[in-house]
Amino acid sequence: MKLGEIFEGRVRGVSSDGLGVVEAPDRRVFFAPATWTGDVGRFQVVELKRRHGIAKLVEMIEASPSRVVPPCPHHGWGEKNCGGCVWQFASYEAQLVAKQDRVEQALRRARLDVSAKPILPSPKIYGYRNRAQLKTDGDRIGFVELGARRIAEVEDCLVLSESNRKHLRSLRSELPRRDWKPRPPHPWNFIDIDEDFSNAELVLNKRRPFRQANTEQNVVMREWLALRISALPKEWHVLELFAGSGNFTEIVCAHGFAAICAAEVVDEALVALRAKNLEGVTPVAADLFQDAAYARIKSVFPRAELLVLDPPRDGLKDKAGLLATYPELRAIASISCDVATFTRDLTDFIAAGFKVVELQPLDQFPHTPHIEIMAWLER
């Protein structure tokens, strides 16, 4: 295939970043935005790489039966279109199937003999986001165009909670703002909003404390953890990594374990965690991507039988160091927002003698490819 060449093909699946996967006549794989499994169309090659390429749909021959009309006027793949909810043109049922398939394919690729339970759907597919990050250049406010470093101005966002939609409208009413203009070479400033946000406390480019973005699904995740730890001995010691401001620490604390260590690196999160004054919990400031982190934690928390883990997308860096520092670990509650790093970490835990008792996918972000995974492991 050559740049500009047009070929006919059928979309056979969707990629981890939400693009349709289509095979050209020469068997090269192309990723095509704005397409879904089952679409048949004519595609034009717009980018070529060594083993794959990017193609755009130029003519739809047969549309997938999973397609729906997106309700958001800002949805799309062109200039001025928001790149947030890339799957909004597919039915929610089809989105769940794609996410389930992605988890199962990742487990097969990692050669893990593990079964995933059916994904838990979000009770709300609109109005669910309790936090978001807006971009502004002082004249516009919105999100980012797909595949471009440009602001896509939005008047409203249907996935935001009602209070966050009000925050967006309020911020729009203040435009233009000269003091919101970015300094070169930055294309924008950002404004974090959440349920507790107010314009009076607005600080540009300051991240607000992390929170799970889907309130209803966070309840499900907390209930899942509570059920898994309910039968564990209360004399166990618990190590929680990436504790944040204590979302899961509260659940662990409620069980009445003998001792709990909650490790976190973000100062604002630690302040919020300490302010909760949870009984039996020792907050520890530790950068878990630094080699000396576990030695530091061990000095104040010498043993642990249960590990509760909720890392960022990068996953857990030094599992060997962790397991060597805490060889008495008996069980792991692993919560992850990234399929690739989750399966990598899971492989290492299994190699260290742990067995997956349960693996539960959960949809926290409808209309996006993102998946949350919860796993319970026992040695």
**Ramachandran angles phi, psi of 377, nearest 5°:** -120, 145
Evaluate whether 86 touches 76 at the Cβ level (below 8 Å).
Answer: no
- Residue 29: CB atoms within 10 A of its CB come to 14
Give me the DSSP letters along 148-159.
Answer: SSSEEE-S--TT
Structure tokens, 146: 């797909």
- Residue 24: CB atoms within 10 A of its CB come to 18
Sheet holding 355-362, edge to edge: 281-285, 259-264, 237-241, 306-309, 331-336, 372-378, 355-362
- Taking the C-alpha atoms of residue 131 and residue 353, their distance in angstroms, rounded to an integer, is 38
**Ramachandran angles phi, psi of 72, nearest 5°:** -85, 125
- Taking the C-alpha atoms of residue 336 and residue 216, their distance in angstroms, rounded to an integer, is 17
Catalytic residues: 337
